Structure 1
Amino acid sequence: MARTTPHDHSPVPGPPLYWRIATRLLDELHDGGIPPGERLPSERKLAERLGVSRETVRQALEVLRRDGLVATDRRGSHATLPGPAVRSPASLTFPVGARATDPGGAVDRATVTWETPPPEHAEALGLDPHRPTLVHRYESAGADGRGRRTAVTSFSAVAVSEVEELARYRDRADGAATAQLRRAYDWMRKAGLTLHHRDSITPLADAPSVRVRRRVHDQYARPLEITDLLVDAQQEALVYEFTLPSAG
């Protein structure tokens, strides 16, 4: 019987599968499908969605880690690709008084530390006087140095334990690296917390400044954070803008 020679079905040369998966994930990072700071789905979920093995996903994530686009800690992998944070139209601005991003205007700096909060903050959050927590500091000034704003935010134990994106900062809250938490309220909502906030504005005696204090609690009346904002109001008005979703 004559022998037949099977056709050659060798794969066409090209990048390995894990590289193609890494490219696909990178596209999602660029498109905002996975916003900066957001935790990526688990390797299992990514494998199911992309139709590949977990090992392939693991190799793809390693490619992104080497390029500094993804970071991994004990809570999983999260996006670190620089870019504007994605917020829903009805989101509150964090911290209170933070200016909109303006590359040619105000100069902003934000950092986080793990330290004992101010006594008034500890009392408002129900923390023991000497118990450390996540503390966020924000500074902003106009290009001419005027219109200075400084804000100090202390997060409660509830916020740090139940909001994964905030918990990740504990391990690197050294007060040195820049830490933009503009999506803090979105992260809280994603964790299933309904936010209630109360802002009070107090003029400071003998100074052209005002203090704004924001308190935020959840649907169970548990405190989540407290912020004290100081604004040099001599040269500018302090404007609050609210967006409410339609009833329909």
Structure 2
Amino acid sequence: MARTTPHDHPLTEGQPLYWRIATQLLDELRDGTIPPGERLPGERHLARHYGVSRETVRQALEVLRHDGLVATDRRGSHATLPGRPVENPAALTFPVGARAADPGAVDRATVAWEAPPPGHAQALGLAPHRPTLVHRYESAGADGQGRRTAVTSFSAVALAEVEELGRYRERADGSTSAQLRRAYDWMRKAGLTLHHRDAITPLAGASSVRVTRRVHDQYARPLEITELLVDARQDALVYEFTVPAAG
């Protein structure tokens, strides 16, 4: 018997709400908002995204599962539509400004569970003085020049959605070594589509520049903010982005 999908029939007012949600979710799967093989956001977040109950989302997912468009395992539900998954943009190593492997460079990175800088708290929607995971990165060239320092604060959403980040809470004492170079990869594997915005500002009266990166997901929820200070007398800041072709 041939299978039917929500797109086999036009939407009508008489169709159940869950069928309409299945159609909207299928649209997002087909346009690449959620790449093939990537985990879907949880039912609670999908319910908030579409403005419906979790039960309606559960029924919509069941429609897509029945048609082989979504599969569910112990890690959650993921898209099974044909197509090549979006590759990791190679330049999105965490944090912004982190050096490529250089045996002569001196790098240090730690995590702490503490109140973030006031500007970070506001950007992440955190209450003043509320603690979160804060990552600090320091780097200098083999000659001691080109110093870079970065401070990153993660949002409550990032810590709740990304299991690998949440694990650091209990051992984030300010001295724990934590490069977190795969942080963006972890976010993507948690079903989050990442939107980056980098602002580069020269500092008046200094040879340094400040790079501020803000990252949010497909639902416009903030995930992290990073402020990087770079001694730019000798270094050049180079950003590369790989955007997969449509279709």
Q: What TM-score range do you get, normalising by the shorter chain? A: 0.5 to 0.7
What per-residue deviation string (whole Å, max 9, x for no partner) do you get for residues 38-91 of structure 1? xxxxxxxxxxxxxxxxxxxxxxxxxxxxxxxxxxxxxxxxxxxxxxxxx94546
Name 2:113's counterpart in structure 1. Answer: 114
The reply to whether residue 242 of structure 1 matches residue 233 of structure 2 is no
SS in 2 for 1:176: strand
> What RMSD, in angstroms, separates the aligned Cα atoms of the two structures?
1.3
Name 2:168's counterpart in structure 1. Answer: 169
The answer on whether the counterparts of 1:91 and 1:185 sit within 8 Å (CA) in structure 2 is no
Which of structures 1 and 2 has the larger relative contact order (alpha carbons within 8 angstroms, sep 6+)?
A: 2
SS in 1 for 2:177: coil
Residue 214 of structure 1 deviates from its aligned partner by 0.2
Name 1:5's counterpart in structure 2. Answer: none
Q: How far apart in 1 are the matches of 2:210 and 2:147? A: 12
For structure 1, the 5+ residue unaligned runs are: 1-86
What per-residue deviation string (whole Å, max 9, x for no partner) do you get for residues 19-56 of structure 1? xxxxxxxxxxxxxxxxxxxxxxxxxxxxxxxxxxxxxx
How many residue pairs get aligned? The number is: 161
Q: How far apart in 1 are the matches of 2:88 and 2:222? A: 23
Residue 166 of structure 1 deviates from its aligned partner by 0.1
Q: Aligned partner of 1:181: which letter?
A: L
Query: Any residues of structure 2 matched to 1:117-156 within 5 Å, and which?
Result: 117-156=116-155
The answer on whether the counterparts of 2:111 and 2:135 sit within 8 Å (CA) in structure 1 is yes
SS in 2 for 1:213: strand
Q: Aligned partner of 1:172: which letter?
A: R
Name 2:101's counterpart in structure 1. Answer: 101
What per-residue deviation string (whole Å, max 9, x for no partner) do you get for residues 180-219 of structure 1? 1000000000111110010000000110000000000000
Percentage of matched positions with identical amino acids: 84
Query: Any residues of structure 2 matched to 1:155-234 within 5 Å, and which?
Result: 155-234=154-233
Q: Aligned partner of 1:146: which letter?
A: Q
Q: Aligned partner of 2:110: which letter?
A: T
Query: Any residues of structure 2 matched to 1:54-65 within 5 Å, and which?
Result: none
The answer on whether the counterparts of 1:90 and 1:245 sit within 8 Å (CA) in structure 2 is no
Q: How far apart in 1 are the matches of 2:238 and 2:179? A: 22
SS in 1 for 2:143: coil
Q: Aligned partner of 2:126: which letter?
A: L
Which protein has the larger Cα radius of gyration, Structure 1 or Structure 2? 1
